[in-house]
Homo-oligomer: A and B are copies of this chain.
């Protein structure tokens, strides 16, 4: 990939600037990341990048549905590249966030049935302990 996001920007009539590509690549690399971390990361290779530019672009990219807000409990808001619907798994031990792609249709249908609500999309976060941390805990006990 030279510039995998160039076409995405063009498709939305947004100019493909170095700053925007840097922002998108950074978020893509990290999966989930908040504003400050994006700024720090980009700043390493791109010290002239202004925070105003970052805020402005993040908001624009969310408006154009290229980015998506990720609001996890007790954490600063993060952003991710918009992709197919998935569930966020948030590990309380290592603070890692995993994505899991799983069938949620039965739940959605049950909700529709019970409430009469027509669902267009859903946002699901589960808190707990990831596989790795579970094993760590287990070994330290036994």
Contacts and interface: CB of A to CB of B under 8 A. Distances in A.
A116 to B, nearest CB: 3
- Stoichiometry (number of copies): 2
A98 B115 CA distance: 9
A100 B120 contact: no
Most B CB contacts (10 A, CB to CB) among A89, A108, A114, A117 go to A117
Given A71-B71, A123-B73, A123-B125, A111 B87 contact: yes
A103 interface: yes
Given A69-B73, A91-B117, 7 more contacts: A71-B71, A71-B72, A100-B117, A102-B110, A117-B130, A120-B128, A123-B127
19 contacts: A69-B74, A73-B123, A89-B115, A89-B119, A92-B120, A100-B114, A100-B117, A103-B110, A107-B107, A111-B126, A115-B131, A116-B131, A117-B126, A117-B129, A117-B130, A117-B131, A118-B134, A123-B126, A123-B127
